[in-house]
C-alpha cells in the first residue's frame, strides 16, 4: 500500500481519493478549503502558492497527484499554480513519484489535425504555455514523472454543452470543427489505472493523452444533444470558430496499455446526463 498525496481535490481529485482509499492506500488531500465530511480521506488545509505552508507539511508521501485548477483564465492565476505552486511542492516532495494532470490545450494545431503525445505542443496562448512549462519543469526534476493531458472534461456539474444545445446556438458546420472530450469518471479511471501499473512496476511513458475514442465535430455533438433534449437544431454558420481547439486527439498510447474507456464517445457519456 502507498501513501498518496492529492494536490487539488475538486471533482476529479476527490473522486480519485475515494477510489484509492477504498483500495487500502493512505490518502491525504491538499485543499485550501477542505470539505466538512472527509469520508475516510485525511484533508489538510493549505495553499500551494505559499512556500511556508507547503514546507510546514509533516506527512509521509510516496506518490503525488497534482490535479490543480485555476479559478479563472488569467495569466496571474495560472502562474501562481503552475509555476510558483509547482515549485513549492516539488521542493518539498522531490523524491516521490508524480502524476501531473495537464491539458490538450498545450497543442496549437488548429486545422483538424490528429495529435498525440509526440506532436509539437507549442500553443500561443499564455495559459497553455504555462502548463507546458510546468510539464517540462516536472520532467527536468525527474524524467520518470508521468504527465496526463486531458481533453475537455465533462460530467455532472460540467454541462456547458447541454445548456448550449438548448439555446439554439450558431455553430460552425463546414468545414468540420473538431472537439475532444473525456468524461470525468474516465479521468479518475485513467489516473487510478496508471497508478496501478506504476505500483505493479510496469514501465510507463512520461506522457499520456487522455481523450475518448470519438473526436467529433462540434456541429454533430450539439445537434445530437439538441435532438435528445427536444430542442431546435443549431443554426449553421460558416465563419471560422476558435482556431485554438480544432484538432483530433489520439489515445492509442493509453489504450495500448489496456485502458478501456467507460464512456468511449460523447453519446455514451451525455446519455446519462440528459434528464
Joined grid coordinates for residue 192 = 487510478
Q: Cis omega (within 30 of 0) on the bond before 175?
A: yes
Q: What percent of the chain has pLDDT over 90?
A: 90
For residue 240, the model assigns a pLDDT of: 55
User: pLDDT, tens digit, for every residue of 92-107?
Assistant: 999 999 999 999 999 9
Distance between CA atoms of residues 99 and 146, nearest Å? 5
Distance between CA atoms of residues 104 and 106, nearest Å? 5
C-alpha of 68 from chain center: 9
Buried b (16+ CB within 10 A) or exposed e, 88-109: bbbebbeebbbbbbbbbbbbbb
Instruction: Give strand ranges (E) for 24-179.
Output: 26-31, 42-45, 63-66, 97-103, 113-115, 146-150, 152-154, 170-172, 178-179
Report the candidate in 258, 215, 228 with the shortest Cα–Cα distance to residue 109: 215
Question: 142 with 198: CB under 8 angstroms?
Answer: no
Give the pLDDT band of residue 86 (cuts 50, 70, 90).
Answer: very high
Distance between CA atoms of residues 153 and 184, nearest Å? 6
Asked whether the predicted pLDDT for residue 22 surpasses 50, the reply is yes
Mean pLDDT of 46-54: 95
Range of the domain at 132: 3-155+181-213+248-263
Buried b (16+ CB within 10 A) or exposed e, 142-163: eeebbbbbbbbbbbeeeeebbe
Q: What percent of the chain has pLDDT over 70?
A: 97
Joined grid coordinates for residue 103 = 491539458
CATH code (residue 22): 3.40.50.720
Instruction: Tell whether 163 is covered by a domain.
Output: no
Contacts of residue 238, Cβ cutoff 8 Å, sequence gap at least 6 = 172, 173, 174
Instruction: Tell whether 230 is covered by a domain.
Output: no
For residue 244, the model assigns a pLDDT of: 54
For residue 237, the model assigns a pLDDT of: 86
Give the number of domains in the chain: 1
For residue 39, the model assigns a pLDDT of: 74
Asked whether the predicted pLDDT for residue 241 surpasses 50, the reply is no
DSSP state of 273: T
For residue 179, the model assigns a pLDDT of: 96
Rg of the chain (C-alpha set): 19
Instruction: Tell whether 116 is covered by a domain.
Output: yes
Instruction: Tell whether 201 is covered by a domain.
Output: yes
Least confident of 12-21, 35-44, 114-123, 197-206: 35-44
Instruction: Tell whether 271 is covered by a domain.
Output: no
Instruction: Tell whether 28 is covered by a domain.
Output: yes
Mean pLDDT of 135-140: 98
Supply the pTM of this predicted model.
0.95
Instruction: Tell whether 24 is covered by a domain.
Output: yes
Instruction: Tell whether 274 is covered by a domain.
Output: no
User: pLDDT, tens digit, for every residue of 179-229?
Assistant: 999 999 999 999 999 999 999 999 999 999 999 999 999 999 999 999 999
Give the pLDDT band of residue 264 (cuts 50, 70, 90).
Answer: very high
Give the pLDDT band of residue 268 (cuts 50, 70, 90).
Answer: very high
Joined grid coordinates for residue 123 = 500553443
Amino acid at each position: 500500500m502507498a501513501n498518496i498525496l492529492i494536490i487539488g481535490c475538486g471533482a476529479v481529485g476527490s473522486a480519485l481519493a475515494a477510489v484509492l482509499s477504498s483500495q487500502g492506500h493512505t490518502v491525504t488531500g491538499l485543499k485550501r478549503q477542505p470539505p466538512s465530511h472527509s469520508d475516510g480521506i485525511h484533508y489538510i488545509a493549505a495553499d500551494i502558492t505559499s512556500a511556508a505552508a507547503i514546507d510546514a507539511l509533516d506527512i509521509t508521501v510516496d506518490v503525488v497527484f497534482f490535479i490543480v485548477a485555476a479559478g479563472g483564465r488569467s495569466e496571474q492565476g495560472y502562474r501562481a499554480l503552475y509555476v510558483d505552486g509547482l515549485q513549492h511542492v516539488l521542493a518539498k516532495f522531490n523524491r516521490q513519484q508524480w502524476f501531473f494532470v495537464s491539458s490538450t490545450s498545450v497543442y496549437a494545431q488548429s486545422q483538424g489535425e490528429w495529435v498525440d503525445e509526440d506532436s509539437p505542443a507549442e500553443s500561443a496562448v499564455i495559459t497553455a504555455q504555462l502548463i507546458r512549462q510546468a510539464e517540462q519543469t516536472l520532467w527536468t526534476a525527474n524524467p520518470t514523472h508521468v504527465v496526463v493531458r486531458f481533453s475537455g472534461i465533462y460530467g455532472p456539474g460540467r454541462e456547458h454543452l447541454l445548456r448550449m444545445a438548448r439555446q439554439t446556438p450558431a455553430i460552425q458546420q463546414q468545414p468540420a470543427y473538431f472537439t475532444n472530450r473525456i468524461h470525468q469518471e474516465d479521468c479518475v479511471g485513467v489516473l487510478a489505472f496508471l497508478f496501478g501499473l506504476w505500483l505493479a512496476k510496469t514501465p510507463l511513458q512520461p506522457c499520456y493523452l487522455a481523450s475518448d475514442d470519438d473526436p467529433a465535430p462540434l456541429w454533430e455533438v450539439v445537434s445530437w444533444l439538441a435532438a435528445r433534449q427536444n430542442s431546435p437544431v443549431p443554426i449553421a454558420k460558416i465563419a471560422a470558430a476558435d482556431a485554438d481547439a480544432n484538432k483530433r486527439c489520439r489515445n492509442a498510447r493509453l489504450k495500448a496499455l489496456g485502458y478501456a474507456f467507460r464512456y468511449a464517445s460523447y453519446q455514451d457519456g451525455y446519455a446519462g446526463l440528459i434528464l
